[in-house]
Amino acid sequence: MNRHIFMSGHSLAAARWQEAIPHALIVESGRGLGIGPNDVVWLSAEVPDWRTRIVDLVTQNGCCVVVLSLQPDQNEAIAALELGARGYAHALATPTLLREIAAVVKHGGLWVGEDLIGRLLGALQARLPAVRNHALAGLSQRELEVAHAVASGMSNKEAARVLGVTERTIKAHLGAIFEKLGVRDRLQLALRVGASKVEQSTRVPA
């Protein structure tokens, strides 16, 4: 993706955004910038017409949209994703987290934040068929533990504490897990793990 454009009516978090992505543009409207499909637009939920903006940016410009909110709300997050946003996060997220979000959406993933994983998984699993290819069989025991911890909604820090390892180790395991399972983000991992549980619970013993 070529450019990162932070679209906001205020500059409260401008320094934080600039630290996260030094070459990012921080603008109020974004008009006249020639936004295209290779750009990432970080859209503030404080912009009055942010919902309409998402639709326009996704359908007309074909770009990737991440919504940033000063007061994150689960219903608002789900609404943003339903409108076509690829991510939803706190506007005051740390530069490290913002860079992580950028990496996820760059590779086609969806960022919803760890606190939404459980709710979204519950809502989506009722509509999705179980995956019946024993997809988790290729994971090591430790990778399985990490996959289940993260899929349950734990942050990397929480998973590291529970499993008695470092956050760096959790990130390394997640990289291997994503590659083995062919998933791009935590939500897809949660769905894959959840589908595997459904498969196991519905399997008829030999």
Tens of pLDDT along 17-49?
A: 999 999 999 888 767 788 888 899 999 998 889
% residues pLDDT > 90 (the chain):
33
Check residues 114 and 178 and name the one with the higher pLDDT: 178
Binned at pLDDT 50, 70 and 90, residue 200 comes out as: very low
Strand arrangement of the beta sheet that strand 25-27 belongs to: 25-27, 4-7, 40-44, 64-69, 87-90
Structural domains of the chain in order of their starting residue, each with its CATH number: 4-112 (3.40.50.2300), 120-202 (1.10.10.10)
Q: Per-residue pLDDT tens for 156-176? A: 888 899 999 999 999 999 999
Alpha helix segments (H runs only) across the chain:
14-20, 50-59, 74-82, 95-106, 114-125, 141-151, 156-163, 167-181, 186-202
Residue 182's pLDDT is 86
pLDDT greater than 50 at residue 198: no
